[in-house]
Chain A
Amino acid sequence: MTFPLSNEGNPVPSTIMTVDDSPSMRMLLKAALTDLGYKVLEAEDGVEALERLGGVEPDLLITDINMPRLDGFGLIEKVREQDRHRNLPILVLTTESSDEKKQRARSAGATGWIVKPFHPDKLAAAIRRVLH
Chain B
Amino acid sequence: MSALPRPSDGLTRITIMQGETRISDDPSVILTTVLGSCISACLYDPLVKVGGLNHFLLAEPGSGDTDIQSLQRYGVYAMEVLINAMMAMGATRSNLKARIYGGASLRDGFRDIGATNALFARRFLRDERIALVGEDVGGTGARRVEFRPTLGLARCRVADTRPVEPARLRVAPPPPPASLGDVEFF
Instruction: List the interface of chain A (C-beta within 8 A of B).
Output: 21-25, 27-28, 31-32, 66, 68, 95, 97, 102, 105-106, 110-120, 122-123, 125-126, 129-130
Looking at B74, B177, B185, the one whose CB has the most chain A CB atoms below 10 A away is B185
Stretch from B27-35, B79-87, B134-142 contacting the other chain? B79-87
Task: Pick 27 A–B contacts, CB within 8 A, sort by A.
Answer: A21-B93, A23-B129, A24-B76, A24-B79, A24-B124, A25-B76, A28-B69, A28-B73, A68-B93, A95-B81, A111-B186, A112-B185, A113-B183, A113-B184, A114-B181, A114-B183, A115-B180, A115-B182, A116-B73, A116-B180, A117-B181, A118-B181, A120-B69, A122-B182, A123-B181, A126-B183, A126-B185
The answer to whether A117 touches B182, judged by C-beta atoms less than 8 angstroms apart, is: no
Cα distance, A118 to B186, chains bound together (Å): 18
Q: Does B163 contact A (CB under 8 A)?
A: no
Output the nearest chain B residue to A31 by Cβ-Cβ distance. B69
Is B60 interfacial (CB-CB < 8 Å)?
Answer: yes
Q: State the Cβ distance, B73 to closest chain A Cβ, in Å.
A: 4
- Hey, which bits of chain B sit against chain A, CB under 8 A? 60, 69, 72-74, 76-77, 79-81, 83-84, 87-88, 92-93, 124, 127-129, 176-177, 179-186
Q: Which residues of B contact A22 (CB under 8 A)?
A: 76, 80, 83, 128
Known contacts A24-B127, A116-B80, A129-B185; 12 additional CB pairs below 8 A are A22-B80, A23-B127, A23-B128, A23-B129, A95-B77, A97-B177, A112-B185, A112-B186, A116-B76, A116-B181, A119-B181, A125-B183
In the complex, which residues of chain B have a beta carbon less than 8 angstroms from the beta carbon of A118?
73, 181
Residues of A within 8 A of B77 (CB): 95, 116-117
Contact for B87 among A27, A66, A122, A123, CB less than 8 A: A66
Q: CA separation between A29 and B185, bound complex, in Å?
A: 20
Residues of chain B lying within 8 A (CB to CB) of residue A24: 72, 76, 79, 124, 127-128
Provide the bound-state CA to CA distance between A54 and B153, in Å: 46
Q: Which chain B positions have C-beta within 8 A of A31?
A: 69
**A3 vs chain B, min Cβ distance (A):** 14
Q: Decide if B60 touches A117 in the complex (CB within 8 Å).
A: yes
Q: Which of B127, B128, B186 contacts A113 (CB 8 A)?
A: B186
Note all chain A residues with C-beta closer than 8 A to B81: 95
Nearest CB in chain A: distance from B65 CB, A:
8
